[in-house]
Structure 1
Amino acid sequence: MDLSLGFIPHVFMSINMEKLGRIAIIGGGSWATAIAKIVLSKKDKINWYMHREDRIIAFKEKGHNPAYLTNVNFDINKINFSNDINKTINTADTLIFVTPSPYLKDELKDLTVSLENKLIVTAIKGIIPGKNLIVSDFFSQVYHVSQPNIAVIGGPCHAEEVAKHKLSYLTVSCTDLEKAKSFSNLLTNDYVRVTTSKDVAGVEYGSVLKNVYAIAAGIYYGLGYGDNFHAVLLSNSILEMDKFLNKVYPLNRNVCESVYLGDLLVTGYSKYSRNRRFGHSIGQGHSVEGAQAEMGMVAEGYYGTKCIYEINLKQQVDMPILQAVYKVLYQNADPRSEMKLLTNRLK
């Protein structure tokens, strides 16, 4: 069995993007908007599914997403908008899903078009609540998409910075490296650099866990802890992530790669991090419900905490940071007391 991740820098790739065929974006949030802008730098046309028709109407009128990244303008003549998911998918070959994981099942509930012969690309850094499935496994088990037809976008990539053309590094993971290379060409430009790997599950689980750890970081900052401790927390977080990944999906990976550690750091430190802000609100004394209402957006780590906790009931990996966040979010543990106890477990 080949345990190599196959990380390959994009600069060595020469793959025909036309293999990807017609492209469709599924989702209407900030990351979907940033990805659409990137794709349109290489493609003359895209399909774009948004659930809300009023958002589509406003987008066409204004020339930009009316709710997210409103300073990013589009040539709407290059976009086939629709709020009919079957129409959007039926007329595309490569589907880029950028829907928050808690809503993905609902978005697909009316789907009648087969996904089996499509290239499914998930840019969703979350896990399916209720099923406790990473998104690639969800498409594989529920929609019978073969693993070589599923790719994942990972890495430190806040949409707000991508929209401002700040230099960003992404990783496209797929068990079929040729497809990963083809898709990475679509994302590569002057401000986005891309590598590829085969570690689909590792990248997905890592992207779920980094949200959990960012919530912990936010709680600590809300409680008044400083940068010195923050560094210790995130150092312990990457070690905890490594132990979990090696148990659920053993592979010869290096968690210091940007797709793992880099994503953890940007989510734990950045002002754009929803999960960090969510945790910060809790640390400042808001209830979990109050913090969610204050956010106005989805903090994927809230759902990811419960899913990973339940998965780990079977795996039995020692994960004190995950356990502390779970107790605060789901067992009404006092944040100050619980996080104080956790400090005794860190090194």
Structure 2
Amino acid sequence: MAKIWILGAGGMGVSMAVMCANNGHQVNLYSPFEQEIETLLTEREHKKLLPGIRIPDGVSMTCTLPERIDADLAIVATPSFAVRGICGELKGRIRPDTVTACVSKGFEKGSLKTLSDVMQEELPTHQSVMLSGPSHAEEIARGVPTTVVAASRSRATAERVQDMLMNRWFRIYVSDDVAGVELGGALKNVIALAAGIVDGLQLGDNPKAALMTRGITEIARLGVAMGASTETFAGLSGIGDLIVTCTSVHSRNHRAGELIGKGRTATQAIEEVGMTVEGYTAAKCAYQLAQRTGVEMPIIEQVYRVLYENKKPSDAIRDLMGRPARHESEVIWLLSGKR
């Protein structure tokens, strides 16, 4: 039995708490919001995000972090914008041997840093693991078979988390490609927004399949430029997470995109979804990273222009379809003057 603290009581945080408790671990769930914790303690259920899923009685919940946190594993499950803050709160409280893991996906707005870099800056003496893959909170909490990747610069640390969390319905593979695993999880949210727009416009299956396929190509292209391995994007944290987020009814990013396709502005769509839509921030970060690295990302660029410059989705699709003819491997054919 491991001692696990989960920081963040949204859908993913609660689902991880349920899963870890059912796996026999001692679990503490933290949220800085007193009303949120009071409601969870009273109802033992997150009625908005995980209706019908009971939080086991053994899960302790609090809105106050103790001065000393006795934990084998601390799991960060906040929105991306709160990762630095919560890691700063952990500094000096957790044991030197506590492993930190993160199930959040995205970038730090402004700095464009990955969340693993943020965690490393705030908790430089602690080994960290990024958990990513096709893993909707709604299904983890219900015990639906789920498979993810634990990525760390230390294989021993990744395997330690694998040993702690893996069970008969939650399978974990390990990886040393932290950049690839993390970028796949962050950037798929942008493509999922675009997939939602396609569905909102009722364009059919052909464009959505093309979007997902060319989308993973763009994600891999930026990932390799940032030090990731190409093959990672063919795995669970790449194409696996992309498929589930682009097609699932649980996806907030797809839902927001669908509303945009039906005529809402980006702001209106996000307000209507009513929860954090990570793809919105990730789209701007990805666009800026593409400019910084000189990587061509036409889909990401068009999503950015729809979200932040009020470009019409139909115009974005027209511009994507009207790009110069290319070889699928991105080499322009210029043999004998032909393309």
Deviation at 1:58, TM superposition (A): 2.1
Q: CA RMSD in A?
A: 2.1
Partner of 2:260: 282
- For structure 1, which runs of at least 5 residues remain unmatched after alignment? 1-17
1:90 is paired with a residue whose SS is coil
1:31 is paired with a residue whose SS is helix
Give the residue type in structure 2 aligned to 1:92: A
Preserved contact between residue 100 and residue 298 of structure 1 (Cα < 8 Å): yes
Partner of 2:148: 170
**How many aligned residue pairs are there?**
324
Structure 1, 279-288 or 67-76: larger mean CA deviation: 67-76
- For structure 2, which runs of at least 5 residues remain unmatched after alignment? 329-339
1:141 aligns with 2:135: no
Deviation at 1:334, TM superposition (A): 1.7
- Of 32, 37, 50 in structure 2, the residue corresponding to residue 51 of structure 1 is 32
Partner of 1:96: 75
Return the alpha-carbon distance in structure 2 between the equivalents of residues 196 and 158 of structure 1.
Answer: 19
Deviation at 1:338, TM superposition (A): 1.4
Return the alpha-carbon distance in structure 2 between the equivalents of residues 280 and 322 of structure 1.
Answer: 17
Partner of 1:63: 44
2:233 is paired with a residue whose SS is coil
1:253 aligns with 2:231: yes
Deviation track 1:300-343 (CA, whole Å, cap 9, x = no partner) reads 00011111211222101010011000111112212221122113
Give the residue type in structure 2 aligned to 1:193: R
- Of 121, 142, 146 in structure 1, the residue corresponding to residue 101 of structure 2 is 121
Partner of 1:239: 217
Q: TM-score, normalised by structure 1?
A: 0.87
Give the residue type in structure 1 aligned to 2:164: L
1:157 aligns with 2:135: yes
Q: How is 1:175-190 mapped onto 2 (pairs within 5 angstroms)?
A: 175-190=153-168
Preserved contact between residue 55 and residue 66 of structure 1 (Cα < 8 Å): no
Return the alpha-carbon distance in structure 2 between the equivalents of residues 240 and 292 of structure 1.
Answer: 24
Partner of 2:23: 42
2:295 is paired with a residue whose SS is coil
Give the residue type in structure 2 aligned to 1:324: Q
Preserved contact between residue 86 and residue 112 of structure 1 (Cα < 8 Å): no
Partner of 1:75: 56
1:336 aligns with 2:314: yes
1:28 is paired with a residue whose SS is coil
Change (3 A) 1:44 1:114: closer
Deviation track 1:233-285 (CA, whole Å, cap 9, x = no partner) reads 11101111111111111436342212210100111111111101111111110
Preserved contact between residue 109 and residue 281 of structure 2 (Cα < 8 Å): yes
Return the alpha-carbon distance in structure 1 between the equivalents of residues 51 and 310 of structure 2.
Answer: 37
Deviation at 1:105, TM superposition (A): 3.9
Looking at both structures, which has the greater relative contact order when contacts are Cα pairs under 8 Å and sequence separation is at least 6?
A: 1
Deviation at 1:111, TM superposition (A): 5.7
Preserved contact between residue 84 and residue 119 of structure 2 (Cα < 8 Å): no
1:206 aligns with 2:184: yes
Deviation at 1:86, TM superposition (A): 4.8
Identity %: 30
Change (3 A) 1:252 1:282: closer
